[in-house]
């Protein structure tokens, strides 16, 4: 089978299912596992990913206002790869290519390939998407085993944090920032991850998309912990962007600011992409919220304390 992945998390899932050798094309952002980056890239962004957050937001809004796609699909390369299966998404048209971006390219095929579109809103949706990918790639037993393993890993952590927080008067209040200029808070599976890790997401809405908030909204959240998880950035880039951000004076009374509990995390690996590594992201959050009880399973570069 010849497979094209138009979604970094799908690429991770395909490799985890042992069919990485069947992947013949990926996106410009598919960098895990490292060998995936050596595959031909079919997608290029029409915004500058190296620009500052405010400029990226401006470019995205300008394209959307004109009714144009944020991504360009290399139709010639796609046709030459002759895939049997294309894995894409219909969740966030800012983060990755969608089925709409494929429409023109697929008209070149006399016999269009199968298209599997992933649209997860929760951790259970992500585990189910692994099974769906297994069905599409004839690796169902392996997919079911992987999904069960990840689910059990998260549930085991949840049982510990439930017991721990039951003994506490309140859960730590957590603000997860997915963008800084303008401010966005993490949605979909992120608030669920915070809850499982023993915290209370004070701004995000579980199962719902990320959304824009004001500096005053964040100031009034009374957050004990701020987690910087800008979509598509690693911990080092997140730390750099926060340090370059002009913080509102209204934040001075936030417990997270007073107690220096601000963490920049590798969102690209453990939070933004709905794939197997979200389970590691939950463990990292548990460590940040309760470092005495939980060890981080990840390398030091996965998180920077500010």
Query: Is residue 161 included in any domain, yes or no?
Result: no
Q: How far apart are CA 91 and CA 250, in angstroms?
A: 34
- Nearest to residue 78, comparing CAs of 103, 45, 46, 48? 103
Q: Are 234 and 300 part of one and the same domain? A: yes
> What pLDDT score was predicted for residue 169?
60
Let me know if residue 149 belongs to a domain.
no
Residue after which a domain boundary falls, among 103, 119, 135: 119
pLDDT at 66: 79
Are 175 and 104 in a shared domain? no
Whether 128 is in a domain gets the answer: no
Contact 34, 23 (CB under 8 A): no
Domain-embedded: residue 198: yes
Cα 11 to its chain centre, rounded Å, is: 13
pLDDT tens for the chain, 306 residues: list them: 999 999 999 999 999 999 999 999 999 899 999 999 999 999 888 888 888 888 888 888 888 787 777 788 888 899 899 999 999 887 565 666 656 667 667 777 878 899 999 999 999 999 999 999 999 999 999 999 999 999 999 999 998 887 665 555 678 999 999 999 999 999 999 999 999 999 999 999 999 999 999 999 999 999 999 999 999 899 999 999 999 998 889 999 999 999 999 999 999 999 999 999 999 999 999 999 999 888 888 888 999 999
pTM above 0.85, yes or no: yes
- 26 and 89 within one domain: yes
* Per-residue confidence (pLDDT) for residue 72, from 0 to 100: 81
Q: State whether 173 and 289 are in the same domain.
A: yes
Residues pairing with 211 in the sheet: 185
Q: Determine the pLDDT at residue 101.
A: 67
Domain total of the chain:
2
Q: Quick check: is 205 in a domain?
A: yes
Q: Report the C-alpha gap between 209 and 185 in whole angstroms.
A: 9
Domain membership of residue 131 (yes or no) is: no
CA distance 83 to 94: 24
Instruction: Quote the domain boundaries for residue 224.
Output: 168-305
Give the domain-ending residue among 119, 154, 178. 119
Residues 73 and 178 in one domain: no
H-assigned helices in 82-176: 99-106, 123-136, 140-166
User: Is 252 inside a domain boundary?
Assistant: yes
76 is a domain residue: yes
Predicted pLDDT of residue 188: 96
Q: Give the integer Cα–Cα distance in Å for 296 and 284.
A: 5
Whichever domain contains 91, its CATH number is 3.40.50.1980
Look at residue 259 in the predicted model and tell me its pLDDT.
95
């Amino acid at each position: 089978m010849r497979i094209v992945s138009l979604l970094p998390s799908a690429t991770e899932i395909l490799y985890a299912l042992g069919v990485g050798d069947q992947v013949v094309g990926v996106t410009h952002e598919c960098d895990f596992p490292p060998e995936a980056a050596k595959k031909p890239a079919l997608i290029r962004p029409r915004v500058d990913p190296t620009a500052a957050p405010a400029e990226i937001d401006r470019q995205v809004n300008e394209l959307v206002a004109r009714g144009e796609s944020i991504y360009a699909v290399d139709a010639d390369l796609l046709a030459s790869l002759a895939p049997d299966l294309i894995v894409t998404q219909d969740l966030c048209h800012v983060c990755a290519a969608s089925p709409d971006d494929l429409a023109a390219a697929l008209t070149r095929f006399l016999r269009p390939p199968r298209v599997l579109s992933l649209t997860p809103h929760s951790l259970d949706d992500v585990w189910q998407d692994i099974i769906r990918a297994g069905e599409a790639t004839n690796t169902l037993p392996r997919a079911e085993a992987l999904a069960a393993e990840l689910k059990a890993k998260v549930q085991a952590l949840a049982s510990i944090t439930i017991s721990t927080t039951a003994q506490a008067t309140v859960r730590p209040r957590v603000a997860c920032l997915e963008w800084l200029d303008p401010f966005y808070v993490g949605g979909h599976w992120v608030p669920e991850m915070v809850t499982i890790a023993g915290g209370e997401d004070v701004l995000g809405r579980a199962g719902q998309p990320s959304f824009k908030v004001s500096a005053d909204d964040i100031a009034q959240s009374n957050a004990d912990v701020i987690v910087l998880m800008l979509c598509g950035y690693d911990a080092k880039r997140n730390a750099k962007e926060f340090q370059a951000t002009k913080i509102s004076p209204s934040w001075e009374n936030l417990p997270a600011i007073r107690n220096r509990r601000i963490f920049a995390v590798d969102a690209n690996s453990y939070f933004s992409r709905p794939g197997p590594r979200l389970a590691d992201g939950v463990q990292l959050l548990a460590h940040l919220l309760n470092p005495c009880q939980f060890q981080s399973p990840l390398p030091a570069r996965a998180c920077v304390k500010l």
